[in-house]
Structure formats: structure tokens, C-alpha cells
Amino acid sequence: MKLDTKAMRHLTAEDWRVLTACEIGSKNHEVIPTPLIESISKLRGGASRVHKSISALAKVGLIARLKEAKYDGYRLTYGGLDYLALHTYASRKEVYSVGSRIGVGKESDILAVADDRGVQRVLKIHRLGRISFRTVKANRDYLRKRHGGSWMYLSRLAAEKEYAFMRALHDEGFPVPEPIAQSRHTVLMHLVDAFPLRQISAVPDPAALYGELISMILRLARHGLIHGDFNEFNILIKEEKKTEPSAKGKEDAEATTGEEEETLSVTPIVIDFPQMVSMDHQNAEMYFDRDVNCVKRFFERRFHFVSSQPGPFFKDAKKTVGKDGAKRLDAAVEASGFSKKALKDLEAAIREQQATRGEHSGEEYDERLTDEEDEDEDDDDNTEGEDGDADEVNGDNIKADEPEMSKHDPEADPSGIGMKSLSISTET
């Protein structure tokens, strides 16, 4: 789904109250009854003013009426949830302008944004359930069994989990983007000027980089964590040029000529943490081995490098958990408020999607929807705008003629991207 912020400047304070009312009502209703929206929003103009705002919101696809509903009501769309998140960031002066989409993941969109000083940042929007609408259909019964369960609920859980782990890892000194804030299904983070590993064709020292990545897996294990998706799609490579004395100058220190040579060093940055699990997880060994094997396979395929040392192995890594004063970050994140129930809900949804699609989590979603899937999407959505015409409100299809995603991924450098400033009323 493309995020279009044009309508934000036209929304009134009353419209925001009604949109917020829809969000509150969606916690217990898939389709929020219109009288409930009126009751929660409590506008001075009464029902007529609420209906005016409902009409304005439905017209731009922020809420939608469900066909064949048993009662008159509306549901919140991903577009509406996007606007609410941006409204929160704007009111806190964390986001002032929004640029174009600079990356597409299996379950997320990555946008370039900036604050009121022009400092560029990255906004990650989680969109669980958008890989395949067949997956949504397959899981609909499963979702109904949970209180308040929906793809938006799961997307919010994914964002909360990612922010919690990113904050804990950054505070512990791991090479991850610095998180700034989290709102609903989005995470705002600092920009990292780096390239995804999958786009790197050669590195100065493959053995050194391989050793650094394996060491990072083991370091995570010491802190009680397994990334769960540690592969070339979720590792960024930051290039750093260093100037050192030339070999001639080193040989003859007394007769230094001042000649210097530039050397290139690479630093790996890890991203994407919604699937991160504890070393005590029931499937921890499988996740650990998969992370190690993903690195081994990529280095053999891309750089023709094969390590002469076997492993590392889970049983050995398990013995190092909490050793040498390493803080158990899995316990710290749980203590911060991300409950075991939320973890189970999120893990179950991710497993269901992977099983339905027959995918491994290491594969990136950069495919284009087929015509058949487009039809499934339209049929499954089955929603209407205020004028009664069917609208696609869960997300825009990725068009075949759309330019390929930027070579920079989630934390890439979006320099040159035109920013659109937000005009948002912060009145309540």
C-alpha cells in the first residue's frame, strides 16, 4: 500500500476525533456500529456532524463500509491507521514531512521521512497479512478465535516487539539502527547510510566479514536472543574509508614522505526484529541453526567462501547464555511490558502465513501480485466507500510498471527524495 498524505491537510479536528473513535471501536468490533462511533467521538454537532466526518473519511479511504454487514457501520482501514500514526508523530514533532517509499519487505513498507529541521529518518510500517489475500482467507477463522484479533492488531504487535528489541539491542551496543519512537503499527528510527548485503558483489575480506556475522549470532545468544531471520536481506553493510600511512612510510619511519593510502572497511548493521525469539524458545535450536546456515550458504554462493571450522552449534551457544555478565535481553524485553500472550499471538500468525505460502522467513517479498491474486484481493476486501462503490482499502497493488525499489533498503540513504510536509491539526 502506498501512503498518500495529501488528504491529511484537509482533515479537521472533528475528523480526527471520529477517526480515533473508529480505532477505539475496532478493538472489540470488526465493523464499528455507527451509533458507537457517535457515542465515542462526542462531537458538539451531534449525529449530523459525525456523519459529515464519516463521509469525509470514507471518501479518502480511511474507513470503509463492509458489504452485506448485518448493521450500519464502518471499519478502520490500514490507510486510516497510517494517518493516526503520522498524526501522533506530527503532534510530537518527530515527523514533519513524508517522502517516497524506499523499500518493500514481506510484511512492511519503508518510507523516507524528515523532522521539522530536515533531518531524514526512516519510518517502517508493518502490514501483516498483505503477502497474499489467500493467506488472509485461510487464517480468518483462526483470527476470530482471539479477542480483538485482526491483521492490524498483529501489525501493532510486530511494531511493538521490533521497537522493544531494537531499543534493548541499541542500548547494549549492538550494531542496529537507533530507534526513535513507535506508534501503533509503525516504528520510527534514525537513518543508516548502508547497502543491503544481498546487493554487495564483493568485499575486501570475506573471511573477516563472515567471522563478524557469526560472532554477532553468538553474541546475541549470550544475551539470550536468536534473530530468527539472520540473512542477506536483513543485514546492511556500511562502508567506511580509513586513511593509513603507506607501506613505504611504514618501512622507513624516519624518512616518512607523508604518503597515505585509503583502505575500505565494512561494518554489518542488523535490521528486522519482529521474529526474534529467546534462547529458551521451544524451537530455539531450529532458529539458531537456520540463522547460521543462511550466512554459510550466502557466503559460499556469493563470495565462494567456505569456513574451515564447523558450527557454531546451538548446544555450545546455549552454555554461554548470561555468561561474563551478559544481560538477558529476552527477559528484559518481556519485563518492559511485551507479554508472553502477545508473543504467542504474533508467532502463531507468522507461522500460519509461512505455512500457507510455503515460504521461509528469509525470503524477501519483492514479487508482483498476479492478476489472479488481484481478483482475490478485490473479492476478499468486499468493502465500499461512502458513495457505495467498491473500494480497495487494505492496500494498493504493487503495479508491474512501478519502478523497482531503491537499492538502499529500510535504513538506506533517501537523499534526493522529495518530501511532502504534513499539515495536521493537533487540536482535540
Whether the model pTM is above 0.85: no
Calculate what percentage of the chain has a pLDDT beyond 90: 55
Residue 283's pLDDT band, with cuts at 50, 70 and 90, is: very high
What average pLDDT does range 353-361 have in this prediction? 53
List 242's β-bridge partners, or say none.
263
Find out whether 70 and 389 touch, Cβ atoms under 8 Å: no
pLDDT of residue 292: 97
Residue 264's pLDDT band, with cuts at 50, 70 and 90, is: confident
Residue 398's pLDDT band, with cuts at 50, 70 and 90, is: very low
Question: Is 229 a known active-site residue?
Answer: yes
Exactly one of 15, 82, 109, 229 is catalytic; which is it?
229
Lowest mean pLDDT among 75-79, 129-133, 385-389: 385-389
pLDDT in tens, 233-254: 999 999 887 776 665 555 555 5
pLDDT of residue 151: 83
Which stretch, 180-194, 229-243, 350-364, 395-409, has highest mean pLDDT? 180-194
pLDDT in tens, 173-225: 999 999 999 999 999 999 999 999 999 999 989 999 999 999 999 999 999 99
What average pLDDT does range 285-292 have in this prediction? 96
